[in-house]
Amino acid sequence: MALGIDLLHVDELARLLTRPWFRAYAYAPEELAVADSLGAGRAREFLAGRFAAKEAVVKALGTGARAGVVPRQVAVLRTAGGAPRVRLSGAAARRAEHLGLRDITVSITHKRGLVVAAAVGVPGDEPGAATVAGLIADALDRRDRDTAPGEERQEQHTPVRQFTTEGA
């Protein structure tokens, strides 16, 4: 499992969103089409939310803006019910495959000019792929194996998998 979180203020992108090169660099055509169908204020909020979600996804992928991943390779589209859905392409898709992720789920929220997005990479189902339940069971087995009968266990919290992004 992989986790990424991003926070930004809607106004952080205001100037960049007026520049065509940035819009083409950061957003998939489907994202821009939705934004273009909205009023100016709502479009800015929508694109800020999508950008925060993209940042959260690349953090979950453990790349930040490195490894050739560019924002438009992380398209944050909508399901039929309106929930955000991630579609990866290019280097972003290759990185997710390398990590054994079969899906990335995002959640986006807006409040008082702030946008927060969280992304969770879901491991694949193939043999050997890490699952949360499997990782917890392995950790409990190790704990029990490393503790002698009657010996008091000391609780330790170890991250299952840690991704870091420099400069993100």
In this prediction, residue 27 has a pLDDT band, given cuts at 50, 70 and 90, of: very high
The structure tokens 């792929």 sit at 129
**pLDDT, mean over the chain:** 80
Q: Quick count: other Cβ atoms within 10 Å of Cβ 94?
A: 16
% of the chain residues with pLDDT over 90? 54
Query: Is the model's pLDDT at 32 over the cut of 50?
Result: yes
- pTM beyond 0.75: the answer is no
CA atoms within 13 A on the CB side of 81: 2
The C-alpha atoms of residue 125 and residue 147 are separated, in whole angstroms, by: 31
In this prediction, residue 42 has a pLDDT band, given cuts at 50, 70 and 90, of: very high
Q: What is the pLDDT of residue 143?
A: 58
Higher pLDDT, 64 or 33: 33
Q: What is the pLDDT of residue 109?
A: 94
Q: Which of 110, 59, 106, 66 is nearest to 87 (CA)?
A: 106
